[in-house]
Structure 1
Amino acid sequence: DSIQTMWSPAIEAAPGTVSQVRVASQELIHFAKNNDAPLVLVGHVTKDGQIAGPRVLEHMVDTVVYFEGDRGDQFRILRAIKNRFGPAHEMGVFEMQGAGLMEVQNPSALFLEGREADVPGAAVFAGIEGTRPVLVEIQALAAPSSLATPRRAVVGWDANRLSMVLAVLEARGGLSFAGRDVFLNVAGGLRINEPAADLAVAAALISSLSSKPIARDTIVYGELSLSGAVRPVAQNSVRLKEAEKLGFKSAYAPKPGKGEVSKNVALREIEDLAALIAVLGVTASVD
């Protein structure tokens, strides 16, 4: 079943306790290293997606890997959280087929499959998962609310970061989301933790609020500060090359470093929130 249900007679404790998990894991790890054999420990997870029980187990093993995905999705994401022998936060995407789980060679094309054209509230974010560039669509909807406290629903992103972006849009951009329910979704079931998604989320929200779609062949990325300025992000060239490979022609992003440009992707430098609002053709009086 899982490591939390294993029991060792070496100590008198119930299965799942800190001492039992530590002893059972240590015996298995000792056996694996003495026999030069690979060992995979399966653990229960909580509703938040974290390993259940004591965190001592994560410190004992060499690699911690999470298998993510909703029941309704045909795709599963394998994400390395800890790795003593290589880079962490690497990601693999797998699809359930007749022969079992098969690796998806181009996750960006998969996440962007079936994208509708000229739909307000959609922005393509060029992100980095570990060392791999991934393009994913961020969908936003700002709809009039009949509730005294409008709803804020998020799937695939940090809810606190959405609140921050909304506050910056109102305070620095002059856009009002009061009296509107805001829904944000990362298409494909991927969860984004990178701050560089701020600008793409802001662009999707502005697009939904103004009912003006973002050009289909445009990617957006950049970190948004509380002052409304757009901070630079790492690995610009990797993001732009991935976008070029998938046929994108332009990018709204912060100023890149030397040598981090693409000849086939026109980069529109976004210095602050006002520049983003202007390039999207929106006025600050939208309500």
Structure 2
Amino acid sequence: MAKRKTKFICQECGYESPKWMGKCPGCSQWNKMVEEVEVTGAARRGAFTHSQGSTILTKPTPITSIETVNEPRILTELNEFNRVLGGGVVKGSLVLIGGDPGIGKSTLLLQVSSQLANKGHLVLYISGEESLRQTKLRAERLHIASNNLFVYSETNLEEINRTIDSINPSFVIIDSIQTVFHPDVTSAPGSVSQVRECTAELMRIGKTKGIAIFIVGHVTKEGSIAGPRLLEHMVDTVLYFEGERHHTYRILRSVKNRFGSTNEMGIFEMKEFGLEEVENPSEIFLEERSRGAAGSTVVASMEGTRPILVEIQALVSPTSFGNPRRMATGVDHNRVPLLMAVLEKRVGMLLANQDAYLKVAGGVKLDEPAIDLAIAVSIASSFRDKPTRTTDCIIGEVGLTGEVRRVSRIEQRVQEAAKMGFERIILPANNLGGWTGPKGVQLIGVTSVSEALRAALGE
């Protein structure tokens, strides 16, 4: 009997080595190398191979002679879900959805499955974590019942493949990819080899048969999808389902999309009978805003193609430690000391002995430079203990020399602020040319942080 060949694979990044190493050279993580048997045979079939083993023959073709078919996207009844996908579900696409346990991934996909089934599409929901009765109980709670929705409890990928061949569905949901295993791969389900081979096989199934496949992925304690980073590169779309388990609002965020924008965000609210979309997220994020409180400002941030108004709160207080504390939630924590340095150097505020705490209300994460000016005004408002006007919206990027730089899509931001009832918009002066603002809204152009503080705080 021939000796089985083994190798050590990093469970974090997929790096392979013939011998064990304590530190992975690929991702520099410790104690992530696990011994696995080398994959051979059927599990190593080439890309785009039929389940029976016959390979689709292709040859180099001039790009001008390739015919394309513009197939319409399939829309669900959740407009927020359609928005994040880039306008609907694409046939033959492979979509990966990750999120914390209990956040509502299975609920979201079961609702989407029911909506697609009600439109006449054949949907196969494969659960590797729940039995058929458990899935049925979840469906009854969500008032889901359709003859076009098939539920299947299986983890063997070959059995799943045979079932797909037999019923020929238009959509397949795999919940979750960490529970599915390929019998030709000897490692345990959820390992790097299993996740990689199973995802590759599902990709072949979806591309060759034109089936849209959704797969659920578990996340690690750091918040990234469990398994090798290669998993996110293989699929067409990567979505993250975020939110606090103790709050009702959920955020579906796109981080990769071959068929649309990578910055789209959808807002949902978890209720007794499932998830409901939030059509006006700006109203939700501002409904509990304190009136007349120092350290609170509103900024119009772009999430993909949608402007969203969110509240930025700052608290500045004298420190009792040798080194002042700088903490931030919802924004890059390195942005707070940078903007505080600008305020100290360019405006003259003595912030070196002050603790600073910054938070974006509502659990939203903002990462665009257009929120810089709102953060700076919030910090100055808390430090001076002077509240800003409740009808002010502040937009702008701040440079290290204290200048306020132009931002993109200013018309959409101003229109959203005007729709929510804001009367004054403090924005970069370079953004004022070439367009006119809405009636009843005063546009105040500023060129520096000092001008912005004078306009917002009267300094």
Scaled to the shorter chain, the TM-score interval is over 0.9
Are 2:292 and 2:390, in contact at CA under 8 Å, matched by a contact in 1?
A: yes
Q: Does 1:278 align with 2:454?
A: yes
- What do residues 2-35 of structure 1 show as CA deviations (whole Å, max 9, x unaligned)? 3234321223334334332221101122223334
Identical pairs, percent: 47
CA–CA separation in structure 1 for the residues paired with 2:211 and 2:256? 20
CA–CA separation in structure 2 for the residues paired with 1:214 and 1:242? 19
Secondary structure in 2 matching 1:261: coil
Q: In the alignment, which of 408, 413, 416 is matched to residue 234 of structure 1?
A: 408
Partner of 1:208: 382
CA–CA separation in structure 1 for the residues paired with 2:341 and 2:215? 43
Secondary structure in 2 matching 1:189: coil
Secondary structure in 2 matching 1:185: strand
Q: In the alignment, which of 31, 55, 58 is matched to residue 205 of structure 2?
A: 31
Partner of 2:440: 264
Partner of 2:113: none
- What do residues 220-267 of structure 1 show as CA deviations (whole Å, max 9, x unaligned)? 111111111111000000000001111110011102141163333211
CA–CA separation in structure 2 for the residues paired with 1:91 and 1:113? 19
- What do residues 51-90 of structure 1 show as CA deviations (whole Å, max 9, x unaligned)? 2331111111111100011122210000111111112211
Are 1:141 and 1:205, in contact at CA under 8 Å, matched by a contact in 2?
A: yes
CA–CA separation in structure 1 for the residues paired with 2:286 and 2:436? 24
CA–CA separation in structure 2 for the residues paired with 1:47 and 1:90? 24
Are 2:381 and 2:457, in contact at CA under 8 Å, matched by a contact in 1?
A: no
Are 2:427 and 2:445, in contact at CA under 8 Å, matched by a contact in 1?
A: yes
CA–CA separation in structure 2 for the residues paired with 1:189 and 1:23? 36
Q: Call closer, same or farther: CA 1:48–1:263 in 2, change over 3 Å.
A: farther
Whichever residue aligns with residue 11 of structure 1, its letter is V
Partner of 1:19: 193
CA–CA separation in structure 2 for the residues paired with 1:249 and 1:167? 30
- What do residues 171-230 of structure 1 show as CA deviations (whole Å, max 9, x unaligned)? 111112222211111111111111111000001111101111111011011111111111
Partner of 2:371: 197
Structure 1 position 282, deviation (Å): 5.8
Q: Call closer, same or farther: CA 1:260–1:66 in 2, change over 3 Å.
A: farther
Partner of 2:333: 159
TM-score scaled to structure 1, two decimals?
0.93
Partner of 1:41: 215
CA–CA separation in structure 2 for the residues paired with 1:82 and 1:244? 31
Are 1:237 and 1:262, in contact at CA under 8 Å, matched by a contact in 2?
A: no
Shift >4 Å, 4+ stretches: none
Whichever residue aligns with residue 29 of structure 1, its letter is M
Match runs of 1:47-62 below 5 Å: 47-62=221-236
Structure 1 position 40, deviation (Å): 1.3
Secondary structure in 1 matching 2:215: coil
Q: In the alignment, which of 137, 144, 153 is matched to residue 318 of structure 2?
A: 144
CA–CA separation in structure 2 for the residues paired with 1:46 and 1:263? 49
Secondary structure in 2 matching 1:115: coil
Match runs of 1:53-132 below 5 Å: 53-132=227-306
Are 1:173 and 1:277, in contact at CA under 8 Å, matched by a contact in 2?
A: no
Structure 2: tracts of 5 or more residues without a match? 1-128, 130-175
CA–CA separation in structure 2 for the residues paired with 1:170 and 1:47? 37
Whichever residue aligns with residue 233 of structure 1, its letter is V
Whichever residue aligns with residue 203 of structure 1, its letter is V
CA–CA separation in structure 1 for the residues paired with 2:211 and 2:248? 32
Secondary structure in 2 matching 1:41: strand
TM-score scaled to structure 2, two decimals?
0.59
Structure 1 position 149, deviation (Å): 1.6
Whichever residue aligns with residue 373 of structure 2, its letter is L
Q: CA RMSD in A?
A: 1.6
- What do residues 122-149 of structure 1 show as CA deviations (whole Å, max 9, x unaligned)? 0001010000010000000001221122
CA–CA separation in structure 2 for the residues paired with 1:15 and 1:164? 45
Partner of 2:426: 252
Secondary structure in 2 matching 1:4: coil
Are 1:207 and 1:214, in contact at CA under 8 Å, matched by a contact in 2?
A: yes
Structure 1 position 114, deviation (Å): 1.9
- Comparing 69-78 and 35-44, the one that deviates more: 35-44
Whichever residue aligns with residue 266 of structure 1, its letter is Q
Whichever residue aligns with residue 447 of structure 2, its letter is E
Secondary structure in 2 matching 1:213: coil
- Comparing 103-112 and 258-267, the one that deviates more: 258-267
Q: In the alignment, which of 314, 335, 357 is matched to residue 183 of structure 1?
A: 357
- Comparing 226-235 and 268-277, the one that deviates more: 268-277
Structure 1: tracts of 5 or more residues without a match? none
Are 1:73 and 1:189, in contact at CA under 8 Å, matched by a contact in 2?
A: no
- Comparing 38-47 and 59-68, the one that deviates more: 38-47
